[in-house]
Amino acid sequence: MSEAIRLSTMLRDLVDVLIPGEDDWPSASLAGVHGILGMRLLEELGEDALLQVEQALSACGGPLGPLDEEQRMIVVAKLEASQPRLFTLIRTATYLGYYESPGVIPAIRALGQPYDPVPILKGYHLEPFDRERDRPKHNRGFYIPTDEVKPVDISGLDHLGERHGRA
């Protein structure tokens, strides 16, 4: 099996453990999330990102392909415990990619949720700001008009670490 197919299969299997799909919801791989995840990993971790993920999965009992569903979940749980930063990146990219997928949007809307996949074009309707209605009611702090804001003298602070030999 070529490296490209092996790594793509690895990503497909991984995202399907995180979002297996059911009923009217497609699996993550059916929604194309493994490709999105691959790109996010490359952006965050560099060219060998997929090999890093493959090695991490192998250290936890992978590859996922020959394993049954329960064994796959155990391997991914081990990945989460042993590589929390990597796992968080994988999970976050998978979830964002899934819920932005055109194939998933109809399932979201079928729940009765208003969902605009590209809200920046039209935005969501918001009431105009009303100074009285939107004023904080907790009585903490106070409003200072922008033209009355004065800079704070921080010259006495060790914010650059000069006193501690840091540059």
Number of domains in the chain: 1
Residues 84-130: pLDDT tens digits?
999 999 999 999 999 989 999 999 999 998 887 777 777 667 788 88
C-alpha triplet 57, 4, 82: angle, nearest 5°:
15
**155 pLDDT higher than 90:** no
Residue 76 lies in a domain: yes
Residues 46-61: pLDDT tens digits?
999 999 999 999 999 9
Residue 39 lies in a domain: yes
DSSP string, 7-34: HHHHHHHHHHHH---BTTBPPTTTTTHH
What gap in Å lies between CA 141 and CA 81, rounded to an integer?
42
Residue 84 lies in a domain: yes
**The domain containing residue 56 runs over which residues?**
3-119
Structure tokens at 44: 């965050």
Instruction: Yes or no: say if 11 and 38 are a contact pair by the CB < 8 Å rule.
Output: yes
User: What is the model's pTM?
Assistant: 0.70
SS3 category, 101 = coil
What gap in Å lies between CA 83 and CA 8, rounded to an integer?
20
